[in-house]
Amino acid sequence: MPQQSSRAVGLAWLGLLVASLFWAGNALVARAFHDAIPPFTLAFWRWSLALAILLPFVARPMWEHRSQLRRAGWRLLLVAALGISTFSVLLYFAARTTVAINLTLLNTCLPLATFIGAGVLLNEWPPRRAWLGLVVATVGLLVLIAQGRLAQLAALSFNPGDLIMLVAVLDWALYTLLLRRWSHYFQFPPLVLLGALVLCGVPLLLPFYLLELASGQTFERSVDNLAAIVYTGICASLLAYLLWNQGIRVLGVAKAVLTNYLMPVFTALLGYLLLGEGLQAYHWFGGALIFAGLLLATRPSLR
């Protein structure tokens, strides 16, 4: 039994790493296509595609769990509104009106907001070692943002899009915390939970998508645009959310949320692999600090 538990924990960590990688790619897509695909359009078709893929696999299990789903009721709807509908739209709106470096900086608020929220809502205050790991990982992230130069931090400027991203970060923190707080209402197989969330979230997006269409905002059905929707629908939606929800269930909020610090590291690696952007010394130093912070915050106590 301990071996099986250890295996489950290891798979949960691996899943969270893969989810962060997929979301790093989602951030690149959001920045690259913010002029080509309107935000509500991208969010709606992203989740509609995810729902179309999910339904054949989850329709029957969802019907079998219909009594538990009814019991979850408004809680399920609220969590879907936060994590499926609202967060996606806020992220895509923020990508239209702010620069990438500010998006990354504001992501540093997520673990802190979740740490505090876990204490207030769940009575799960992280140990001192976790707070120290949080500080070390934050320093590593700031090294990446500043590109190894303090003057770069002083030169940062902010605009209204940064406020949108800050709201998105708080929205995601609340989604994560409520998913954990109401976990006894969500005792379904992982695919059933994700299917129920997406089934609740897509109709919430539909009216805003139609309003966007009525205002004349649409997108060209090009190969690149369709590929962006397919990536966000499968990798950044289906797979990433499934892995994230399972990580929250197995590891808890305080540990799982720290993997968000890896997103800028993965973004730098993807920029190197896909865009030919060189990796500098500050990438390696900042990434090493982030990994050190994660190890410090999550390793078991020695007794």
Predicted confidence (pLDDT) per residue in 224-270, tens digit:
999 999 999 999 999 999 999 888 888 877 778 778 777 777 776 77
* Per-residue pLDDT at 250: 86
Where is pLDDT greater, at 221 or 260? 221
pLDDT bin (cut points 50, 70, 90) of residue 196 is very high
Which of 65-69, 157-161, 214-218 shows the lowest per-residue confidence on average (mean pLDDT)?
157-161
Find where tokens 């969500």 sit.
186
pLDDT exceeds 80 at position 177: yes
- Computed over every residue of the chain, the mean pLDDT equals 81
What does the pLDDT read at residue 28? 81
Predicted TM-score of the model (pTM): 0.79
Q: Report the percent of the chain where pLDDT is more than 70.
A: 77
Radius of gyration, CA atoms only, the chain:
19
Which pLDDT belongs to residue 302?
37
Most confident residue range from 82-91, 196-205, 212-221: 196-205
Number of residues written out for the chain: 303
Q: Reply yes or no on whether the pLDDT at 47 is more than 90.
A: yes
Q: Provide the pLDDT confidence category of residue 303 given band limits of 50, 70 and 90.
A: very low
- Tens of pLDDT, residue by residue over 272-295, are 676 555 556 666 676 677 667 666
Please report the sign of the dihedral spanned by the C-alpha atoms of residue 171, residue 241, residue 250, residue 299.
Answer: negative
Residues 102-152: tens digit of each pLDDT: 565 566 667 777 777 777 777 777 677 777 777 777 777 677 666 666 666
Alpha carbons 232 and 236: distance in angstroms, whole number: 5
- Residue 107 tokens read as 């992501």
How high is the pLDDT of residue 274? 66
**Cα dihedral 238/61/180/12 (nearest 10):** -60
pLDDT score of 6: 81
For residue 294, the model assigns a pLDDT of: 63
- Give percent above pLDDT 90 in the chain: 35
Residue whose entry in the numeric block shows the structure tokens 């998105």: 168
Residue 3 has pLDDT above 60, yes or no: no
Question: Is residue 205 very low, low, confident or very high in pLDDT (cuts 50, 70, 90)?
Answer: very high
Mean pLDDT of 13-20: 91
Higher pLDDT, 78 or 251: 78
What residue has token string 């729902």? 51
Residue 124 Rama label (left phi>0; alpha psi -120 to 50; beta): beta
3-state SS assignment for residue 36: coil
Mean pLDDT across the stretch 163-170?
84
Q: Is the pLDDT of residue 74 over 50?
A: yes
CA atoms within 13 A on the CB side of 58: 22
C-alpha dihedral over 247, 252, 254, 258, to 10 degrees?
-10
